[in-house]
């Protein structure tokens, strides 16, 4: 409990004790009213100040104004008619109890979000003039070597150049098991070094690092409001003036008929207490806030409550294959050469692909296993979705798929084996092929099953691989609908076709990781990016980021979103239903201030309690 909450609790207890004492003491008249004003101001002075501030700022009709008018009116009625001031103090007292409860619930949600914000590094240790000094991470240039001691948080993304250790990645991925790293391993900012001293060469400035991106996503998440939140905002703008006008009419019109001015004024004030829309205004944003925090704790970053709401309506999920459902770590499994040695074929292909960062290019270079002299490679040209051509030591080399061979007019022998096939042409003639395979992620199959259990009706896979390899992977994962040999623009066309086929009112989500997936992530109703292996462009274009590249997290995020939406609908029905019933009963005189207090404070407490459940992620 914060200091502010403790002070509020103390004020509530002090006012409650004073009220009990006054109720037991037989003081009457003006002294009684003056004594009751003491606990009233002790517990409610801040509400009165907020009401006055709202009047000054032109925001007249809010819950503070309603509460101030109702309680001040009750005190005036007590002075004129009943001599009872306890009701005014009790209304303010119970209202502040509800506010304290709401403050604690919001604080709990914020602490959950703050656990993510704790990943912000304080410093980076860099060597200068033979000494290790601490700098602000934002001042460390790319390519610098930084040292990270055991127990410290890695400040920047980098590659291990010296040392071995285990990393706690829970703050980024939600994964409790540590990850071992060694020279050559990629490390992300925000992870905690658990054991040995590590030296890393930074690969990105702080502004572009993983930790900075996460913090930016979390900080901006509240800006994207859901339809439910927008509805509540619109509802409150119309509802509050409406009930104030209704209260005035309730006080005036019946009084003109029977002359019972004080009776109808009291009933109107009770009507105002019952009408406060606190339960809706507080609990709905709190539910989304809690849901986003709970998802973040599980390693799923959701950029706004509108995306959390959309996730609950998702009926179609479209997956990219490489790096999303598969490991994205390609390995050469077969080399077949025609009129040239296999080693020479592999060398030509590796050199031609040396300028590319594509996983297939990396696998060719790894299989080649020698230092690549880029000075021998010139006139490199990349054909998007097809392959590359280059001049290697004066020899024209083409390496790519069947489309590249057809485009260059190179007659080739089709490979019927399962995998990604890189056809190689030398000086315009077919020279053989290299077969590369990518392993399916161990949890990809269970991710598909969990999505189907979560209510997804159709799962589709898109890939640039040949159709045979695409069908093989789809069959292994249990995916019925698959499209292969797609260029980036073909993926957009495929998603647009799927968007036209989806059930009305449902959402289509696309999950991908590569830079060529950015247009599709933007075009889909909901874009989901793989955060750990995903490209910056994909993460920027996506609405949801999975920080450990685990496709099972999509189903987990859907479970969280559906739970949140159920809580939102429950609170809307609960608050509006009880509110309408209480207003009718108060207006016709069948109930008094007790029901009004419950309709305001009691319903708010129930709604907030229900909203807190969104924090509980199993």
Residues acting as catalytic residues = 320
Q: Which of 92, 90, 100, 150 is nearest to 125 (CA)?
A: 150
Distances (CA, A) of 188 to 65, 180, 290: 50, 13, 26
- What are 311's two structure tokens? 């996730």
d(CA 553, CA 256): 64
d(CA 104, CA 282): 12
What secondary structure letter does DSSP report for 81? I
Q: Which of 411, 380, 409 is nearest to 397 (CA)?
A: 380
Question: Crossing angle of helices 227-258/63-77, nearest 10°?
Answer: 20
d(CA 190, CA 154): 6
Helices (H), 369-443: 402-408
What secondary structure letter does DSSP report for 152? P
200: CB partners within 8 A, 6+ apart = 145, 146, 148, 154, 156, 158, 159, 160, 161, 187
425: CB partners within 8 A, 6+ apart = 397, 398, 399, 405, 408, 410, 412, 431
CA 83 from centroid of its chain's CA atoms: 54
E strands in 154-260: 158-162, 165-168, 179-181, 186-187, 192-193, 198-202
What secondary structure letter does DSSP report for 224? S
d(CA 187, CA 157): 6
Do 22 and 12 touch, CB atoms closer than 8 A? no
d(CA 565, CA 563): 6
Q: Which of 312, 315, 309 is nearest to 501 (CA)?
A: 315
Q: What is the 3-state secondary structure (H, E, C) of 250-262?
A: HHHHHHHHHCCHH
Do 351 and 545 touch, CB atoms closer than 8 A? no
CB < 8 Å & 24+ apart, contacts of 502-508: 502/315, 502/316, 502/458, 503/315, 503/457, 505/313, 506/313, 506/314, 506/315, 506/316, 506/457, 507/310, 507/311, 507/313, 507/314, 507/315, 507/316, 508/314, 508/315, 508/316, 508/317, 508/318
Tally Cβ neighbours within 10 Å of residue 170: 19
d(CA 367, CA 353): 12
């Amino acid at each position: 409990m914060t200091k502010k909450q403790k002070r509020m609790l103390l004020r509530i207890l002090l006012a409650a004790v004073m009220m009990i004492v006054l109720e037991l003491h037989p003081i009457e008249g003006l002294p009684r009213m003056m004594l009751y004003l003491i606990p009233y101001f002790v517990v409610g002075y801040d509400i009165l100040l907020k009401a006055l501030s709202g009047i000054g700022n032109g925001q007249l009709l809010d819950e503070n104004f309603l509460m101030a008018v109702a309680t001040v009116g009750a005190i005036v009625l007590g002075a004129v008619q009943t001599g009872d001031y306890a009701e005014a103090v009790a209304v303010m007292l119970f209202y502040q109890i509800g506010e304290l409860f709401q403050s604690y619930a919001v604080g709990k949600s914020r602490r959950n979000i703050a656990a993510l914000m704790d990943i912000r590094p304080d410093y980076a240790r860099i060597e200068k003039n033979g000494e290790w000094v601490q700098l602000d991470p934002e001042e460390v240039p790319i390519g610098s070597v930084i040292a990270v001691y055991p127990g410290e948080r890695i400040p920047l993304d980098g590659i291990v150049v010296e040392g071995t250790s285990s990393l706690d990645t829970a703050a980024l991925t939600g994964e409790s098991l540590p990850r071992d790293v060694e020279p050559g391993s990629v490390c992300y900012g925000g992870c905690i070094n658990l054991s040995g001293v590590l030296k890393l060469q930074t690969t990105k400035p702080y502004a572009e690092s993983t930790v900075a991106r996460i913090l930016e996503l979390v900080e901006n998440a509240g800006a994207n409001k859901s339809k439910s939140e927008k509805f509540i905002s619109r509802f409150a703008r119309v509802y509050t003036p409406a009930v104030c006008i209704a209260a005035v009419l309730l006080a005036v019109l019946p009084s003109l008929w029977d002359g019972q001015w004080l009776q109808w004024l009291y009933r109107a004030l009770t009507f105002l207490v019952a009408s406060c829309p606190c339960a809706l205004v507080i609990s709905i944003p709190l539910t989304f806030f809690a849901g986003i925090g709970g998802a973040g704790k599980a390693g799923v970053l959701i950029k706004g409550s509108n995306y959390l709401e959309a996730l609950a309506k998702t009926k179609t999920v479209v997956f990219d294959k490489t790096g999303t459902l598969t490991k994205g770590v390609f390995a050469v499994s077969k080399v077949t050469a025609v009129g040239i040695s296999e080693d020479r074929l592999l060398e030509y292909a590796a050199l031609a692909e040396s300028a590319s960062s594509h996983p297939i290019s990396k696998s060719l270079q790894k299989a080649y296993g020698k230092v690549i002299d880029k000075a021998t490679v010139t006139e490199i040209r990349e054909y998007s979705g097809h392959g590359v051509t280059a001049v290697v030591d004066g020899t024209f080399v083409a390496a790519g798929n069947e489309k590249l061979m057809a485009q260059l007019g190179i007659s080739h022998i089709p490979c019927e084996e399962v995998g990604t096939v890189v056809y190689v042409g030398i000086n315009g003639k077919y020279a053989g092929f290299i077969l590369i395979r990518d392993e399916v992620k161990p949890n990809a199959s269970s991710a598909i099953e969990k999505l189907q259990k979560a209510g997804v009706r159709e799962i589709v896979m898109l890939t640039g691989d040949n159709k045979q390899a695409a069908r093989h992977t789809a069959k292994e994962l249990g995916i019925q609908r698959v499209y292969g040999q797609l260029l980036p623009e073909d993926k957009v066309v495929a998603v647009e076709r799927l968007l036209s086929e989806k059930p009305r009112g449902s959402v289509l989500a696309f999950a991908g990781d590569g830079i060529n997936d950015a247009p599709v992530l933007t075009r889909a109703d909901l874009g989901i990016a793989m955060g750990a292996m995903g490209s910056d462009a994909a993460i920027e274009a996506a609405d949801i980021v999975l920080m450990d590249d685990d496709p099972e997290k999509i189903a987990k995020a859907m479970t969280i979103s559906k739970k949140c939406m159920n809580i939102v609908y429950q609170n809307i029905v609960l608050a509006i239903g009880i509110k309408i019933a209480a207003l009718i009963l108060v207006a016709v005189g069948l109930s008094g201030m007790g029901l009004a207090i419950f309709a305001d404070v009691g319903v708010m407490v129930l709604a907030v309690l229900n909203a807190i459940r969104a924090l509980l992620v199993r």
